Amino acid sequence: MKRVLRITALLATLWAALASPSHAQPIKIGEINSYKALPALMGPYRKGWELAQDEINGSGGLLGRKVETIFRDDNANAGDAVRVAEELLSRERVDVLAGVTLSNVGLAVADFANQRKVFFLASGPLSDKVVWESGNRYTYRLRSGTHALAASVVDEAARSKKKRWALVYPNYEYGQAAASTFKAALKKAQPDVEFVAEQAPPFGKLDAGAVVQALEDARPDAIFNVLFGADLTKFAREGKTRGLFKNRLVVSLLTGEPEYLDPLKDDAPEDWLVTGYPYQQISTPQHQAFLTAYQKKYNDYPRLNSVVGYATMKAIAAGIRKAGSVDTEKLVAAFKGLNFDSPFGPVVFRPQDNQSTLGIYVGRTALKEGKGYMRTGTYIDGSKLTLSDDEIAKLRTVK
């Protein structure tokens, strides 16, 4: 009898250990992104993500379970992204899909999430179709989109009273939408404005000499630029060499992000009005805590995509806690109006379009010790940069 009791007690102890949270199956997140195609962006992004995950697991995980992320590359291709998403669901049995930077890939994965009825938090695709025209109930987006980016610089552009504007942008959806939004908003704010030239080279195939010459020939008072990545580097260097930017206001989206300023080194533009990430200038408690933790872990300064990766993981954690589950329908409901803290402060996911209010820093560039940075930066909350609820309702038919 004593032997039977000992065995029973041993089995009970073993069962309790196996049933404890430390032995529970991890919550799995399938993260899809362009790691090979965009290494300068995705390296910092993954570091930010893993910092947040370490913090979450270090404080007990979620629902008594550890969090595990399975990272996959989309090869900057929509078809590959959908294939990877299917593998993550069927083979890896992930609970949530997240990630994506390129707009065309984001739209493809959002459509996949809608078809498969799986929760998807899009980290950074800029196309507003992800949450507006092609929005669906299973897809939420963290980063502000094209409309917000363009709208964030319009007020200061209008205050400059520059009349003749030239535009340069990559000839695909993001560039076209940014240029269209900026033109319409600036015309509304400054009715006498003129748009005297537009250059729309194919993305990644910029003939910098020809574009700079065409802009110079138009003799604009100011330039609105949407080029980024290698195209931005070529444009900034060629324009500086030829004096295109001398005595002209340049308004440039994304250029204030360290990811894009760093490669330019001492060719980085000075006094451009940009959107970006002035991490040296942000003194809020939330950002200071993030900056300290990031530097301690990586012995490096964060980039904007570090913030995006970190905030995406934190948002997922907040949503799972609120839902009390990883069930898709419970997550969809929990994210409606979800509040969470980011390095930029409190963020809310708007119920009307599944878009977060993570905002944008707008400021001026400068050079210091052979390196570009944002010498000023004003934060604009994303709630102030969107369309009206009525306008959103006309674009987004899905509740």
The residues spanned by each domain of the chain are: 22-144+284-358, 147-282+361-384
What are 160-188's pLDDT values in tens digits?
999 999 999 999 889 999 999 999 999 99
β-pairing verdict for 96-99 and 27-33:
parallel
Measured at the alpha carbon of residue 308, what is the angle toward residues 302 and 309, in degrees to the nearest 5?
A: 85
Superfamily for 22-144+284-358?
Response regulator (3.40.50.2300)
pLDDT tens profile 330-346? 999 999 999 999 999 99
296: pLDDT confidence band, cut at 50, 70 and 90? Answer: very high
Task: Write the CB contacts of 127 (distance below 8 Å, at least 6 apart in sequence).
Answer: 103, 104, 106, 107, 145, 146, 173, 174, 177
Over the chain, what is the mean pLDDT?
94
pLDDT at 382 over 60: yes
DSSP assignment string, 230-241: HHHHHHHHHHHH
pLDDT at 364 over 60: yes
> Sorting pLDDT into bands at 50, 70 and 90, what band is 398?
confident
Q: What is the mean pLDDT of residues 336-365?
A: 98
Q: Does the fold of domain 147-282+361-384 match that of domain 22-144+284-358? A: yes
Question: What's 20's DSSP letter?
Answer: S
Residue % of the chain over a pLDDT of 90: 91
Residue 192 burial (CB count, 10 A): 7
CATH 3.40.50.2300 matches 147-282+361-384: yes
pLDDT at 301 > cutoff 60: yes
Average pLDDT over residues 314-329: 98
Tokens representing 66? 């550890």
Mean pLDDT value across residues 147-172: 96
Helical H runs in the chain?
A: 2-19, 39-58, 78-90, 103-116, 146-159, 173-189, 208-218, 229-242, 258-261, 285-298, 304-323, 328-335, 389-395
- For residue 9, what are the contacts with CB-CB under 8 A and spacing of at least 6? none
Residue 276, token pair as written in the block: 């970006």
pLDDT > 60? residue 35: yes
What integer pLDDT is reported at residue 23 of this predicted model? 57
